[in-house]
Amino acid sequence: MMSTALQSYREATARQRVQGLLDAGSFTEWLGPARRITSPHLAALDAPVSFDDGVVVGQGHLAAQAVVVIAQEGLFNGGAVGEVHGAKIRGALLRAARDRPQAVLLCVDSGGVRLHEANAGLIAISEIMRALFAVQSAGIPVIALVGGTCGAFGGMGIVARLCNAIIISEEGRLGLSGPEVIETVKGVEEFDSRDRALVWRITGGKIRRTLGEATVLVDDDMAAFRSAAAAEMFGDRPHLERWGLSPDSLHGLQAAQRQLAARAALDGSIRDGQQVWNQLGLGEEVALMSPAEFNLCLEARKP
């Protein structure tokens, strides 16, 4: 079915994202809501539970190729990872390592660990990291999609960066500590979490793409995410080779070490994305560029 109307990825639920990304009718969910596997730890604190514990996992097809899909629901507890939620993600990754689909799509929409079950969540994220390495060792790329309302923060910000590619929208956000946490602990002078433009210049899709933290910038549109994911799977994008369809090599990681060290050596006064853009000779016009224009502009500036 073809549709020309834009469907916002950001406004979609996890289930709508799965439907929108995959070939029509191809999705099979594992441990779906009918199984009613909920978090006992939320229940113990009289907090609301969800029949999928805030994550959808299963398999389907993208452009007729088998994929495993994992989609976090940002509307439930901020997509946060608890025991069941984490175990579903880990199980889906282990299954991908066993069944060898063409790729894993990881739709991250999460603030990180779920505080109501913080210890279980922290261990679960570590287990997800190890399972993700197992998938990559099996030669299967994991593609992160970041464009939900909760972004990818905390442990899920680390997990996203372990992926072979990150597709992000301009509205997508990627980081470790959320602006609210930094403001609460360090004060509003350090990070004013209510300054939305500043938050965007620190954590948003354009600056993440500029620094190489994300691999491609797309419009907040389901079809754009879908075609970018397909391009990562089939296309000639060099970063899939760079980050290895094989396990990380010593040489590859030594090169990554040098790149990250160079970035950390940026002038110490730089604490705003606009300063990074100014250094690249890009001015205020950055905010006005479409994702396509912006990707082209960065490609042209590559050494």
Judged by CB under 8 A, the chain residues 52 through 71 that form the site for another protein are 57-59
**In the chain, where does DSSP find H-type helix?**
14-21, 40-44, 83-99, 118-137, 155-162, 179-186, 196-203, 205-210, 222-234, 238-242, 250-264, 273-279, 291-301
State the DSSP string of 149-185: TT-B-THHHHHHHHSSEEEEETT-BB-SS-HHHHHHH
Task: State yes or no: residue 289 binds another protein (CB under 8 A).
Answer: no
Distance CA 123, CA 129 (A): 10
Among 127, 138, 200, 297, binds another protein (CB under 8 A): 127
46 versus 236: smaller Cβ distance to another protein: 46
Q: How far apart are CA 134 and CA 97, in angstroms?
A: 6
**Using rule CB under 8 A, residue 190 touches another protein:** yes
d(CA 68, CA 94): 11
Is 197 one of the binding residues for another protein (CB under 8 A)? no
Binding to another protein (CB under 8 A) within 67-126 occurs at 83-84, 86-88, 90-92, 94-95, 98, 113, 115-126
276 contributes a contact to another protein by CB under 8 A: yes
**What's the token pair of residue 137?**
């060792």
| Closer residue to another protein in complex, CB, 6/266 | 266
Residue 145: CB minimum distance to another protein, A: 16
- CA–chain centroid gap for 13, Å, is 15
Answer yes or no whether residue 277 interacts with another protein by CB under 8 A: no
Among the residue ranges 11-19, 175-183, 230-238, 287-295, the one whose residues contact another protein (CB under 8 A) = 175-183
Q: Please count the residues of the chain.
A: 303
Among 103, 131, 222, 286, binds another protein (CB under 8 A): 131
Residues 234-273, one symbol each (x = binds another protein by CB under 8 A, - = not), give -------------xxxx--xx-xx--xx-xx-x-x-xxxx
Residue numbers 22-41 binding another protein by CB under 8 A? 28-31, 37, 40-41
DSSP state of 116: G
